Amino acid sequence: MPQLQPGQPVPDFTLTAGNGENVTLSQFRGKYVVLYFYPKDMTPTCTEESCQFRDYNAQFENLNTEVIGISPDDLKSHGKFAAKYELPFLLLSDLDHEVCELFGVWQLKKMYGREYMGVVRSTFVIDPQGKLVREWRGVRIKGHVEQVLEAVKEAQAGVKTS
């Protein structure tokens, strides 16, 4: 499947959140959405990334922007992760990695000489009409959340963010 390009509509999907609620992307129409894909709850880098989104969540909310995390972890894991780190946003469970595949973030990875399939840390900003504004793939944590916040501000101001 070809990757989405900025300006294209993002395909709708429904996943279950850590709180047991079914969440559909299109229910956030009228808001910006920051969708971040991460490999695994409770791991150091994923925890750091999620806590940074938590720390900036009020600023995203002030910009009419919903932050949503997605990983292949189960609901119980998401519930524990969100509770332990006081994450104020939804964590969606993509057990079958269908949405990860839809966004092209389920890929072959290598660690310590071993190959396996997993999530490539990635973030997507979606506009209130459901179109892709900006994407980051193979994310490095340092400064990333600030870049995403700036991209939302630029999108709202009508500035080209590519």
Catalytic positions, written as ranges? 46
Please provide the size of the chain in residues: 162
Query: Contact at 8 Å (CB) between 153 and 132?
Result: no
Question: Where do the DSSP E strands lie in the chain?
Answer: 14-17, 22-24, 32-37, 65-71, 90-93, 106-111, 114-119, 122-126, 132-137
How far is 35 from 104, CA to CA, in rounded Å?
13
CA–CA distances in Å: residue 44 to residues 15, 28, 128: 25, 29, 32
Cα–Cα distance measured from residue 134 to residue 124, given in angstroms and rounded to the nearest whole number: 6
Strand partners for 136: 123
